[in-house]
Amino acid sequence: MSETRPARLSPERVEQRLREQFPDVPFRRQEGAAVRDFTLYLPADRLVEVSTFLRDDPELAFTMLASVSGVDYLPRDPRFEVVYHLLSIPMNARLVLKVELRDEDPKLPTLVNVWPTANWLERETYDFYGIVFTGHPDLTRILLPEEWVGWPLRKDSPLGYQEVAFTHNTPDREKPDPDLKHLAPKKVTYRAH
């Protein structure tokens, strides 16, 4: 006995449902040749409300937060974007939400109460970009040591300037013996099975 899969939820229907439910939210669709998944921009102050609706609406059922990441577009204003990749497994659909943040105060509300997976994902974004998720239960570094200073994936973060040893910058390196013979390829015979 084969199960029938539900028809795929179209991006247009997702956008229609959001605009019906939130007529006052200025959603903006990202378009262009490089855009793979349906992407909507929304303001940070409406993020939790919109995300809760996306999760709880039975027609949409975006029950999985797959990824949260930061992007630094220095020198653009607004400088940062926080990108949320959502999956609706029952409806076979993907959605990307993006929130733009200014350099002066990069903060937005946490989504831990909507999707528990946001906990570690938001911590990673905080750890690398310094974007603050207000209301997060444990907004501490997750990959870098606690004593680390700065935000290493910001474009204005200083590089380590630790030179890597190569032949051009390592004067005391051991040079190979000029009489060293190169190995010739081994002759292999194949037999039929």
- Structural domain spans, the chain: 11-169
pLDDT greater than 60 at residue 167: no
Residue 17: pLDDT band by 50, 70, 90 thresholds? very high
pLDDT greater than 80 at residue 182: no
**Residue 166 structure tokens:** 């190569």
Sheet holding 80-88, edge to edge: 28-29, 39-41, 93-101, 80-88, 64-72
3-state secondary structure 39-73: EEECCHHHHHHHHHHHHHCCCCCCCEEEEEEEEEC
Cα separation, 133 vs 135, in Å, equals: 6
Q: What is the mean pLDDT of the chain?
A: 88
Residue 185: pLDDT band by 50, 70, 90 thresholds? low
Residue 190: pLDDT band by 50, 70, 90 thresholds? low
pLDDT greater than 70 at residue 22: yes
pLDDT tens for 116-154 read 999 999 999 999 999 999 999 999 999 998 888 889 999
Cα separation, 193 vs 188, in Å, equals: 16
CATH code 3.30.460.80 for 11-169: yes
pLDDT tens for 36-54 read 899 999 999 999 999 999 9
